[in-house]
Amino acid sequence: MGERYFANPYDDYDEKTHGKEENQLVARESVLELIKKYVDIIQQNVNSKMRDDLYVGIAGIAFMFWKLAQSDETKHMFPCLELASKYIGEAKHRSREKRDKSSKNAVAFLCGGSGIAAVSAAIANEMGKLQEMENDLESFLQGCPPCTNVKGTDADEVLVGRAGYLHGASWLNQAITPKPIENEAISEICQTLIKRGRSVAHSLRLAFPLMYEYHEKAYLGAAHGVCAILHALLESPWFDRDATDRFSGSPTKLTDIKSTIDYVLTLQDGDGNFPTRIDSNRMLVHWCHGCGGAIYLFAKAFLTFREDKYLDCCRKCADELWRHGLLRKGPGICHGVAGNGYAFLLMYRLTGEKRYLYRAVKFAEFLNSSSFASVLLAPDRPFSLYEGLAGTVCFLVDLLTPMRSSFPFMDVFERKCV
Ligand SMILES: [Zn+2]
């Protein structure tokens, strides 16, 4: 295990030594310098060999520029929206060239067509190009009907399955006003997810109600596993509260979702981590596998059910990320230092405790350290949104306004009921 991460060289937060105000904790000038440096490297390396998608393709670069345009401190560093528009245009062009009119591509968010359409809609909205936005939304909505019936061993998770589409729909409803995706469409997809989950749990003879598989493996983590699928279900209109503070969804479905979350909670080990699969002891400290991604489910569960056990679980995840989260796999958000740093920003928003902002700051500092330089460009796609520097830039932008931060497409705090 020692091979996977750098020993954390920093002292943990101590109120007496580090008890500064938020704006003193974050060294804004160095963060801005690092953003500039990384964006310059990315721009020099975007090329025609990149894929079209959000995960490691050119649409992810467009998303990064959209993100830069959201912050007052970074929006004038580059012509952000113009570049976002240029790159998403290229992504759409490459996507069209593939002539992939399959249902799967219409559903796939992080690694497919619906993600490109969604980010394009948000960029067009920001630029006031309303006709283009309408066209993009129409293209995104083409994924809705297949989301309720697409089958296969990869049809449910976040990278190419319906849970990713649901996270994309929630994100669009946060990014565009009035919210463009209707509750009915979201509920129908959630209904399919419940059916699929019950059927897999039944066939595996599990003692809890819902489970999902990706290529016949029952993963737990955020990328292919049940954590981000349950999180997508918690974002559904079923968890809107009515005038008497009750959830609007049917009690059977809500009980199945909550019982499954409570089962996953029992799998947290003494260090605070989760295994990669229900039938495995393998432990990774990533967003894609392990506590770096599971923490979003439990943060959402805490906000939804208001039970302290979920917050305790998040604290344990964050402690494990602090101990073992300085990964040697590079800077990215899927299995890298910025991805784990994002969990501290989540915890800072959730609790307001400066300990977590301090930890996020230290992870950002480590990105710029000499020990980390040898692995900065180690990932296969070192400039991309999920594996490389583009996601790292998003983390640094969020570090400047931590109370508005959110891991891409996974904002647990926003809840739009109108
Ligand atoms: Zn990963």
In a 3-state reduction of DSSP, which class is residue 156?
coil
pLDDT for residue 22: 75
334 labelled binding-site residue: yes
Single pTM value for the model? 0.97
Whole-number Å distance, alpha carbon 288 to ligand 1 midpoint, is 4
User: Using only C-alpha atoms, what is the Rg of the chain?
Assistant: 20
At residue 241, φ and ψ (nearest 5 deg) are -95, 140
As given in the structure block, the two tokens for residue 198 are 């019950």
pLDDT for residue 417: 47
On the 0-12 / 13-18 / 19+ scale of CB atoms within 10 A, 4 is: middle
Whole-number Å distance, alpha carbon 287 to ligand 1 midpoint, is 6
| Bridge partners of residue 283, in order along the sequence | 275
Whole-number Å distance, alpha carbon 335 to ligand 1 midpoint, is 4
Whole-number Å distance, alpha carbon 175 to ligand 1 midpoint, is 25
CA distances from 57 to 52, 158, 329 (A): 5, 16, 19
Contacts of residue 258, defined as CB under 8 A and 6 or more positions apart, other chains included, come to 301, 305
Dihedral over Cα of 327, 332, 335, 338: its sign: positive
pLDDT for residue 1: 45
On the 0-12 / 13-18 / 19+ scale of CB atoms within 10 A, 408 is: buried
Whole-number Å distance, alpha carbon 83 to ligand 1 midpoint, is 27
| 130-141 helix and 162-175 helix, angle to the nearest 10 degrees | 160
pLDDT for residue 2: 53
Whole-number Å distance, alpha carbon 412 to ligand 1 midpoint, is 20
Q: Exposure string (b/e) for 268-295, b if CB count within 10 Å is 16 or more?
A: beeebbbbbbbeeeebbbbbbbbbbbbb
Whole-number Å distance, alpha carbon 339 to ligand 1 midpoint, is 9
Whole-number Å distance, alpha carbon 202 to ligand 1 midpoint, is 29
Whole-number Å distance, alpha carbon 243 to ligand 1 midpoint, is 41
Residues whose CB is under 5 A from ligand 1 (ion)? Answer: 288, 334-335
pLDDT for residue 21: 77
Whole-number Å distance, alpha carbon 286 to ligand 1 midpoint, is 6
Whole-number Å distance, alpha carbon 290 to ligand 1 midpoint, is 10
317 labelled binding-site residue: no
Whole-number Å distance, alpha carbon 127 to ligand 1 midpoint, is 32
335 labelled binding-site residue: yes
Q: Which fold has domain 15-404?
A: Glycosyltransferase (1.50.10)
pLDDT for residue 96: 94
pLDDT for residue 17: 86
Low-confidence ranges of the chain (pLDDT < 50): 1, 417-418
Q: Exposure string (b/e) for 28-46, b if CB count within 10 Å is 16 or more?
A: eeebbebbeebbebbeeeb
Whole-number Å distance, alpha carbon 20 to ligand 1 midpoint, is 34
> Quick one: which H or E segment has residue 18?
helix 15-18
Whole-number Å distance, alpha carbon 123 to ligand 1 midpoint, is 26
